[in-house]
Structure formats: structure tokens, C-alpha cells
Structure 1
Amino acid sequence: MVSPYGGVSGAWFGPTHHCLEDLAVMQSLPGVRIAVPAGEAETREAIRAAADGDWPCYVRLGRNEVFDASFAPAGRGAVTWLNPMGGDTCVVSIGEKPTALCQAATEQQPDLGHAHLCWVDEESLTLALPQLADARRLVVVEEHRAAGSVASTLALLLPDREVLSVNAGADWPAEGGNHDETLAALGLTTSAVLSAVLKGK
């Protein structure tokens, strides 16, 4: 299943087109593998992997806007490191806009590790855990509600780590706007990422 309009990428179309609970719904179905690719190359790889496999897959996409991903795709169970860790905190990006927010955050804080994930079902996340083991604190940035999020799954899988979440919250945007404006109305901004990174330090 390939789903466009992921998160609030429908923007101007309003709440009837927002999709902020889909990962939680798909995570509740046993045996479904879930991909949230960023950029054309990763999207193509995720679609090929889904088509070649013998398991049900859910691939979440945005809408129309081109995302310039100048990094190697993250395969299932793999992590693409977009910024090496210089301390004990790592941001984890899920999807295109969160990846862009994390990249902006690491520009302001160069010692901040940035791990990008594409496959985010529990089984795939479990395979990726050893690659995240050096981080004491994980700040997961995703265009999704807190309930049933990737952050909540990682928190269960990593009980000895501090897992924080920067997400779309529980509100619905009351006014229209483009994708970035809608995200900002929900509190998904670079400032929110940096604030979460600093929390508890």
C-alpha cells in the first residue's frame, strides 16, 4: 500500500486531508512493514523492496514537493548517518520535512548526531538498534502524533535510553497554509528540535 498526503503535506486542503495517525494504525497490524522514505532514491528503493518481498508493506509519501536528498537511502534495518555524533545526543529523523528540520538543527549545533531512518515498523527498528547504541539520548522528529509514534516504539525498545519526541501534537491547524506553515502551526520547527535537544542537559 502506497499512501500519499502523509502527515500534513496536503496543507491547504485542511484537516480532512491530514494524515497524522497512520503509522500508529499500521504498527498495530502484525507483520506489516512500514517505510517513510525521504527523496526520490530512497522512495524508489522502498517501493522495490516492498514489491520484491512477500510481506505486506505500507509506504508513506508526501505530496508533489521535491525533496533534495543528497544522501544514500536507508535500507530496512539500516541507519543513514547525516551527521556523526560528537556528544551523547542524537536526533532521529523520519520522513522528508523532519529530515530537513534535523539538518537545519545540526547546522546550528555541529556536534549533534543525526540518524535518518526509512523503515520504521517494530521489526525494522529492532534491527537498527545496534547502530543507535552510542546515543544516550534520542530525539525523534516525525510528522505524526505522539501516540503510536516511532518515538514511542523506540522508547519501548530502548528502556535504558532517554527518548524524546518532537511531533505534531494533538491539535488540528485552524487555518490554511503551505506545508511548512502548517508544520509550524503544529510546533514542528527547527527551534522545537533544538529545544528538545537541550531539554534535560
Structure 2
Amino acid sequence: MNSIPNRQVICDTLIELGGKDKDIVVLTSDSRGSASMTNFAKELPEQFVEVGIAEQNIVGIAAGLAASGKKPYIASPACFLSMRSIEQVKVDVAYSKTNVKLIGISGGLSYGALGMSHHSLQDIAVMRAIPGINIILPADKHETKKMIEALAKNTEPTYIRIGRNPVADVYSSDEYGFEIGKAVTMSEGTDITIIAAGETVKIAMDAAGVLKKKGVSCRVLNMHTIKPLDEAEIIKAAKETGCIITVEEHSIYGGLGAAVSEVVTQNSPVPMKIVGVPDEPAIPGKSEEVFKHYGLTADNISSIALEIIKKK
């Protein structure tokens, strides 16, 4: 299978699961096309609800369906789902412990030229501060499929953030152990650890490849679950490699880097650098252009790694 958007994998997997479990329901907010949920609506129309441009309502409706025994999955743009409806997420989903899966589509910088109004670079920070909700960012199509299959067996409220465009593979197949809350070691290393989540995992692995050519042994952790965080693996990395870089498609405040630093500073302080989007309205443009502008590239991250290693 060629590289495809993670949203398409979610749709295909939900069609497969929904065909066996009639309690699975998908809701969209005038976004069935952008969420790649058109086929779900065609295949399982009685398990599909189009709410329209009403993000607060979609969360409330999903929570009501969950309270009635259904298993709702919301597919809505991350920029709106995580901002417009955050009170409903906090009260109707997290506080009420309803089995709602919130899928933030076109997350991070993937809306590109539409700019700050459509970028979602605060969503992880906001969701992290709400008790009772898990946060997962799958890295590629293999992990996305494994994630949806795992979530189908899990009743905890969860926020999933995915991008808009096709994603390069970081796994050769889905024959690996995926576990919510458990980081995956993508490569072993002893000199430094790069921790990434979502689509930045590929960048981290490329950076490790650059460092390897320069004689640096780099560990790469795919921290697909940002909450609950795999604290044990972070502490282990800090102790065994002595320095850490985090890479994320998110503000440098409140996201993966903040979560990792909270663990590191309180358990095993080491030199650390958070690579993400600075505290400014992110520039508009194609994702790759914006990534390059903010240094979310293998070359920049490998250069930062070499500087940090000197501080060990």
C-alpha cells in the first residue's frame, strides 16, 4: 500500500470495525470529505451523523450517544474541535467519562496557506490540562490502523490528532506491538535521544540517520501517546543517553516538549532542547515550507543534537 493520509486509514478501519459492531457511530461537522469519511457514510449510512458546522453540538451529541451505549467517533478539523468546543470536551466528555473518540483532522500546520485561524498548534497543550482524556498522535498508516483497533477496545475519552496529507511510513508493516501509553523505540542509541510524535517521527528518524553518518549514536522514541505519558521510557533515555531533544508540530509551550521536560526535570535532569513552533502566529504556506522555516528538518535537528552533546 502506498503512502496515504492517516484520515483515510481511519475511515477504512472504522468501516471494517463498524460493519461488525453496529454501536460504532461516526459524526462529522461539515467535514466528511476532508475527513475522508465519505465512504463510511456510503457504506454504513445508519451509523453516520452529519452535524454541520456546529463543533460544540457535535461533542454534546457524541457524549449523549456514548451515554446511550453507542461508541462515537468525531471527525472534525483539529483547529475547531480543540478550540470552539473545548468546554463540551471538558465537561461532556472528560469529566463525564463518556466513551467518545475525538479525531482532530488536518492538525498542526497541515492547513498550510489558510494560516493561523486554521493551524492547530495549541491543541495538545489544551487537552493535556484536562483531566481524564488521553492524547494520541499516530506516526503513519500502520500505527494509525493499530491505534483505531486499540481504541475500539478502550472506553476512555481520547483525543487523536492527525494531519491532512499523505504520510511517509516509519514502520514497514503493522506487525509490531502498539500499546496506548507505551513509547516505541524506533532506533537504539547511547549519545542522545530524540523524542517525537505524529508526523515528526519521520523527521526524527532522518535526523538520527544524519547523526549516524557523523559517528553519533542516536536513540529515537516515538511518543505516540502524549497522555498518559511513558515516563519510565523518558527517564531511562535521560539516564542512558544524557541529553534529549523533542520534536513536535505544535507550539513549544505545553505540548510534547513540555510534557517530557516535566518528567526530566523532576527525575533525571539532563541538557534538553524543545524543537517546535515558537511563540508567534505561524506563517502560512505549504507544510514543508513552514517546517523548514521553523527548523523542523533533519539537518537542523542533527545540528542541534551536536551542540547539546557538547553540554553533557
Give me the TM-score of the superposition, normalised by structure 1.
0.88
Cα 1:191–1:3 change in 2 (3 A) is same
1:1-201 pair list within 5 angstroms: 1-71=102-172, 72=176, 74-87=178-191, 89-96=192-199, 98-110=200-212, 111-121=217-227, 123-126=228-231, 128-129=233-234, 132=237, 133-159=239-265, 160-162=268-270, 163-174=272-283, 176-200=284-308, 201=310
Q: Which runs of 5+ in 2 are unaligned?
A: 1-101
Aligned 8 A contact 2:170 2:201 in 1? no
Cα 1:74–1:93 change in 2 (3 A) is farther
Cα 1:74–1:85 change in 2 (3 A) is farther
CA RMSD across the alignment: 2.0
Shift of the alpha carbon at 1:192?
2.5
Q: Which runs of 5+ in 1 are unaligned?
A: none
* Higher RCO (CA-CA < 8 Å; seq separation 6+): 1
Q: 2:61 corresponds to which residue?
A: none
Please state which structure has a larger fraction of its residues in helix. 2
Q: Decide which moves more: 24-33 or 102-111.
A: 102-111
| Inter-partner Cα distance in structure 1 for 2:139 and 2:257 | 18
AA of the residue aligned to 1:77:
G
The percent identity for this pair of structures is 24
Shift of the alpha carbon at 1:73?
6.1
Shift of the alpha carbon at 1:187?
2.6
Aligned 8 A contact 2:109 2:121 in 1? yes
- Secondary structure of the residue aligned to 2:292 is helix
How many equivalent pairs are there?
A: 197
Shift of the alpha carbon at 1:91?
0.6
Aligned 8 A contact 1:76 1:124 in 2? no
Aligned 8 A contact 1:50 1:56 in 2? no
Shift of the alpha carbon at 1:66?
3.1
> Any idea what the Cα deviations from partners look like across 1:142-183, whole Å, max 9, x if unmatched?
111111111111111122232321111122344x43211121
Shift of the alpha carbon at 1:74?
4.3
AA of the residue aligned to 1:37:
P
| Inter-partner Cα distance in structure 1 for 2:250 and 2:150 | 24
Cα 1:125–1:18 change in 2 (3 A) is same
Aligned 8 A contact 1:38 1:95 in 2? yes
Aligned 8 A contact 1:102 1:114 in 2? yes
Give me the TM-score of the superposition, normalised by structure 2.
0.58
Q: Decide which moves more: 39-48 or 16-25.
A: 39-48
